[in-house]
Amino acid sequence: MADAVAKAAPPLPTSKDDINGTWNYLEWGVDRIMVNLSYGLDLKTYMTLYTSIHNFCTAQKAVGAQTNLNSSQRGAHLLGEDLYRRLNDYLKRHLTGVHTEMVKHVDEALLTFYIKEWKRYTTAGTYNNHLFRYLNRHWVKREMDEGKKDIYDIYTLHLVRWKEDMFGSTQNAVMDAVLRLVEKQRNGETIEQSKIKSVVDSFVSLGIDEQDSTKTTLDVYRKHFEEPFLEATKVYYEKESAEFLAVNSVVDYMKKAERRLDEEKERVPLYLLQEIMTPLMKTCEAALIAKHANVLRDEFQILLDNDREEDMARMYKLLARIPEGLDPLRAKFEAHVRSCGLLAVEKAAQASEAIDPKNYVDALLEVNTQYSALVQNAFGGESEFVRSLDNACREYVNRNKVCQKNSAKSPELLSKHADNVLKRSQKSSEEDDMEKLLNQVMTIFKYIEDKDVFQKFYSKMLAKRLVNGTSASGDAETSMISKLKDASGFEYTNKLQRMFQDMQTSKDLNKAYEEHLSKGFSSDDGIGTSFQILGAGFWPLQPPNTTFAPPALLVKQYERFTHFYADKHGGRKLTWLWNLCKGEIRANYIKNAKVPYTFQVSTYQMAILLLFNDSDTASYDDIASTTMLAKETLDPSLAIMLKAKVLTASPEGKTEPGTTYSLNYNFKAKKLKVNLNIAIKSEQKQEAEDTHKTIEEDRKMLMQSAIVRIMKSRKTMKHTQLVSETIQQIKSRFSPKVSDIKKCIDILLEKEYLERLEGDELGYLA
Cα dist. 678→599, 638, 639, 682 in Å? 12, 12, 11, 12
| Band of pLDDT at residue 4, cut at 50, 70 and 90 | very low
Q: Do residues 83 and 136 share a domain?
A: yes
Helix/strand/coil for 681: helix
Buried b (16+ CB within 10 A) or exposed e, 563-594: ebbeeeeeeeeeebbbbbbbbebebeebeebe
Inside any domain, residue 474: no
> At residue 122, does pLDDT exceed 80?
yes
Q: Is residue 417 part of a domain?
A: no
pLDDT at 728 over 50: yes
% of the chain at pLDDT higher than 70:
90
Q: Using the Cα atoms of residue 94, residue 100, residue 105 and residue 106 in order, give the sign of their dihedral.
A: positive
Q: Kindly tell me the burial class for residue 536, based on how many C-beta atoms sit within 10 Å of its own C-beta (0-12, 13-18, 19 or more).
A: exposed
Whether residue 136 sits in one domain with residue 168: yes
How much is the average pLDDT of 612-634?
89
CATH code (residue 649): 3.30.230.130
What domain count does the chain have? 4
pLDDT in tens, 30-89: 877 877 655 566 788 778 777 777 777 776 444 433 444 344 444 445 667 888 888 888
**Rounded-to-integer distance, Cα 272 and Cα 327, Å:** 34
- Residue 18: what pLDDT? 66
- Alpha-helix residue ranges (DSSP H) falling in 469-547: 474-488, 490-520
3-state secondary structure of 489: coil
Residue 271 and residue 374 in one domain = yes
Checking if the pLDDT of 3 tops 60, the result is no
Helices 72-102, 154-162: inter-axial angle, 10-degree rounding? 40
Residues 671 and 749 in one domain: no
Query: Is 569 a member of any domain?
Result: no
User: Of 87-91, 246-250, 535-539, 576-580, which gets the smallest average pLDDT?
Assistant: 535-539
**Cα dist. 747→339, 752, 766 in Å?**
41, 9, 16
Does pLDDT of 763 surpass 70?
yes
Among 337-351, 436-450, 689-703, the range scoring the smallest mean pLDDT is 689-703
The winner for highest mean pLDDT among 35-49, 365-379, 510-524, 582-596 is 365-379
pLDDT, tens digit, 9 for 90 and up, residues 100-114: 888 888 888 999 988
214-269 pLDDT per residue, tens: 677 888 889 889 999 999 999 999 999 999 999 999 999 999 999 999 999 999 99
The residue-averaged pLDDT of 309-316 equals 95
What is the Cα–Cα distance from 567 to 563, expressed in whole angstroms? Answer: 6
Q: Are residues 290 and 362 in the same domain?
A: yes
The reported pLDDT for the residue numbered 681 is 63
Give me the chain's average pLDDT, please: 85
Using DSSP bridges, classify how beta strands 660-663 and 597-602 pair: parallel, antiparallel or unpaired: unpaired
What integer is the mean pLDDT of 122-129? Answer: 87
* pLDDT at residue 386 tops 60: yes
Q: Looking at the structure, do residues 598 and 668 belong to the same domain, yes or no?
A: yes
- Point out the domain boundary residue: 403, 433, 465: 403
Q: Which domain holds residue 281?
A: 240-403
Predicted local confidence at residue 54, as pLDDT? 77
pLDDT of residue 65: 39
Candidate from 288-292, 318-322, 554-558 with smallest mean pLDDT: 554-558
Predicted pLDDT of residue 369: 95
Segment 264-283 mean pLDDT: 93
Across residues 738-743, what is the average pLDDT? 87
Q: Domain boundary residue among 679, 704, 728? A: 679
* Residue 727 and residue 627 in one domain: no
Across the range 408-431, mean pLDDT stands at 79
Per-residue pLDDT at 5 exceeds 80? no
pLDDT bracket for residue 682 (50, 70, 90): low
Check pLDDT > 60 for residue 557.
yes
Mean pLDDT of 721-741: 84
Whether residue 479 is contained in a domain is answered as no
Give the global pTM.
Answer: 0.76
Considering the domain architecture, whether residues 669 and 757 belong to the same structural domain is answered as no
Shared domain check, 377 and 298:
yes
Count Cα atoms within 13 angstroms, Cβ side, for 618.
22
Q: How large is the average pLDDT for residues 5-24?
A: 66
- Residue 445 CA to its chain's centroid (Å): 19
Phi, psi of 475 (to 5 degrees): -65, -40
**Domain check: are 43 and 192 in the same one?**
yes
What is the per-residue pLDDT for 71?
A: 40
- Distance in angstroms (rounded) separating the CA atoms of residues 225 and 204: 9
Q: Determine, yes or no, domain membership for 520.
A: no
pLDDT in tens, 159-175: 888 888 887 778 888 88
Average pLDDT over residues 271-297: 94
Give the model's pLDDT for residue 40. 61
Give me the CATH number covering residue 355: 1.20.1310.10
- What torsion, rounded to 10 degrees, do the Cα atoms 209, 213, 216, 221 define? 50
DSSP sequence for 278-307 = HHHHHHHHHHHTGGGHHHHHHHHHHHHHTT
User: Do 93 and 171 reside in the same domain of the chain?
Assistant: yes
Is 354 inside any structural domain? yes
pLDDT of 281 over the 90 cut: yes
354, 372, 403 - which closes a domain: 403
Angstrom CA distances, 346 to 305, 438, 459, 635, stand at: 18, 24, 28, 37
Give me the pLDDT at residue 766, please: 67
Determine contact, residues 477/500, Cβ cutoff 8 Å.
yes
Confidence (pLDDT) at 594? 79
Is 136 a residue whose pLDDT tops 90? no
Q: What is the mean pLDDT of residues 650-657?
A: 80
Is there a domain that residue 623 lies in? Answer: yes
Q: Phi and psi for 756 in degrees, rounded to 5?
A: -85, 135
Q: Is residue 438 part of a domain?
A: no
The DSSP H or E segment spanning 86 is helix 72-102
Residue 15's pLDDT is 61
pLDDT in tens, 600-610: 999 999 999 99
Confidence of residue 343 (pLDDT cuts 50, 70, 90): very high
Q: Side chain identity at 698, as an amino acid letter?
A: D
pLDDT value at position 49? 79
Question: Does residue 585 sit in the same domain as residue 670?
Answer: yes
